[in-house]
Amino acid sequence: MLKYLLGVALLLTGIFGQALAQLPPKREFRAVWIATVENIDWPSRRGLPVETQKQEFINLLDKQQRNGMNAVIVQIRPVADAFYDSPFEPWSEYITGTQGQAPNPYYDPLRFMLEETHKRGMEFHAWFNPYRAAIRNTTSNHITRMRPQWFVTFDGKKYFDPGIPEVREYVTNIIRDVVRRYDIDAVHFDDYFYPYPVPGKEFGDNNSYRQYGRNMMKDDWRRWNVDTIIQMVGKMIKEEKPWVKFGISPFGIWRNKNKDPEGSYSSGLSNYDDLYADVLKWLKNGWIDYVAPQLYWERGHRVANYELLLNWWAQHGYGRNVYIGHGVYRLKSNAAWSIPNELPVQITEVRTLNTIHGSAFYSAKSFNGNPLGIEDSLRNHFYRYPALRPAMPWINMPSPFPPYFVDAFERTDGLHLHWADQDTSGRTQQYVLYRFDANESINLGDPTKILAIVQQQSEPQYVDLSYVKGRLYTYVVTALNRMQTESWASDPLYMRFSGKKTQFIIDPEP
């Protein structure tokens, strides 16, 4: 214990101080959750006109892009319903106001969201709730009506029974349909597996336990059920599209130290004992690509200290990517978060640990009003410069071809840069454009020199609006594939003056 706490103390002193002076990371996951259940984040209410829905989502993306986010995690199946044109489940009531009713005039919200998200160079993580099925009454074609034997009513809500094999097959096939038909970047589950415990109430799965219990203790059997669907979904995703990621955002405590020597110094509810989700097993076995634990507590919290849990997760990623979930909503609702630097310090501490690869923020509407200046902190400091998303070397994809400059010319609005590459197979998804002062050495490891991350297009180009006429620059461009593998650099584009005319020279030796 003393050794562990000493490590935290070091984090808060020397390491923390050094981090403030270091360059921001070149690769970092920066995401925001967009919850649709009960219209938490989007749409703002049920039954909005289609064009209003679309504009709200565009505004939300633009805002989070200005905040520096490079990914969104969007809830597309909140209660066994769909924010997309599903052949299996009804349209969500949170879109039109009536479950089963399609948008009118018709549009496919998921297809629209994917197009708008990718247009901005951001990843789209499709967030599914695998087991929550109904909060209120459902339509006649809802799965709770058609297969009532699959469900357990608990605390007034209906849940799929994870112990029934047909349930696991059904949920896996629902997700398979989306992976197959839509250009999503990741499948995302949150912390809802077996429901959170309620005092005096028991989840009623005795029938399925008697039928499928496999002579196991009930708690072990429940964990086996959740393990099995995680394996099934992970395997299915890679069979359909190997580049689509699979991520889990669990409750922030895997297990407490008083229950397991490998657990954390905490004393709260846990994934393993209360939700029957053995997240560490999934990481150890490589069944998932990333984990984003919800560390929605402040530093020094009595039951779940943010710093202790951050360090614990940093030591338990087992080679997979670890992103930290931050509770932005706490800025408005929790006195312990009224200190203006609570969240900025949390983000800073994330960056001191090389086994943590970024942050995700819950949730989008919590940024409204810029509480305690958090948007200012992101835009002007933490996320001032663009970042590539973290690599996942266990997912193999061919490296992109290096691009090359083809033209550059001055206009009143700035410097127009044009480039091309030899990619004919669709490897390239984005380009990274770097700008250096003419007297600077070219260092692609310096993220402050990234001018922009540009989406692939038929004629790649960018207008440098901050270009200062008469100032000499050197430009370099690289390509990125879907897994953010970066190509070799282009030959530099140099600028020279000849009299009053600017010359642009594409030459390895200026």
Instruction: Please report, for the chain, the start and end positions of each structural domain, with discontinuous segments joined by +.
Output: 29-381, 404-506
CATH dotted code for 404-506:
2.60.40.10
Tens-digit pLDDT profile for residues 425-454? 899 999 999 999 999 999 999 999 999 999
Given a cut of 60, is residue 8 above it in pLDDT?
A: no
Q: What is the pLDDT of residue 458?
A: 87
The answer to whether residues 133 and 80 touch, using CB atoms and an 8 Å cutoff, is yes
Residue 60, classified by CB atoms within 10 Å of its CB into exposed (0-12), middle (13-18) or buried (19+), is buried
Q: What is the pLDDT of residue 499?
A: 60
- The pair of three-digit structure tokens given for residue 76, joined into one six-digit string: 């597309």
The answer to whether residues 425 and 378 touch, using CB atoms and an 8 Å cutoff, is no
* R_g over Cα of the chain: 24
- The pair of three-digit structure tokens given for residue 377, joined into one six-digit string: 């902190």
Q: What is the pLDDT of residue 180?
A: 98
Q: What is the mean pLDDT of residues 230-259?
A: 98
Q: What is the mean pLDDT of residues 4-18?
A: 42
Query: Distance (Å, rounded) from C-alpha 311 to C-alpha 80?
Result: 36
CATH topology for 29-381 is TIM Barrel (3.20.20)
Q: What is the mean pLDDT of residues 280-292?
A: 98
- The pair of three-digit structure tokens given for residue 425, joined into one six-digit string: 């197979």
Query: Distance (Å, rounded) from C-alpha 40 to C-alpha 276?
Result: 27
Residue 260: closest CA among 316, 321, 214, 200: 316
The mean predicted confidence, pLDDT, of the chain is 94
pLDDT band at 6 (very low <50, low <70, confident <90, very high): very low
The answer to whether residues 32 and 73 touch, using CB atoms and an 8 Å cutoff, is yes
Percentage of residues in the chain having pLDDT higher than 90? 89
Q: What is the pLDDT of residue 264?
A: 98
- The pair of three-digit structure tokens given for residue 8, joined into one six-digit string: 């935290």
Given a cut of 60, is residue 19 above it in pLDDT?
A: no
The answer to whether residues 116 and 62 touch, using CB atoms and an 8 Å cutoff, is no
Full-model pTM = 0.95
Query: Distance (Å, rounded) from C-alpha 254 to C-alpha 317?
Result: 12
Residue 161: closest CA among 202, 208, 117: 208
Q: Which residue has the tokens 């923020």?
A: 361
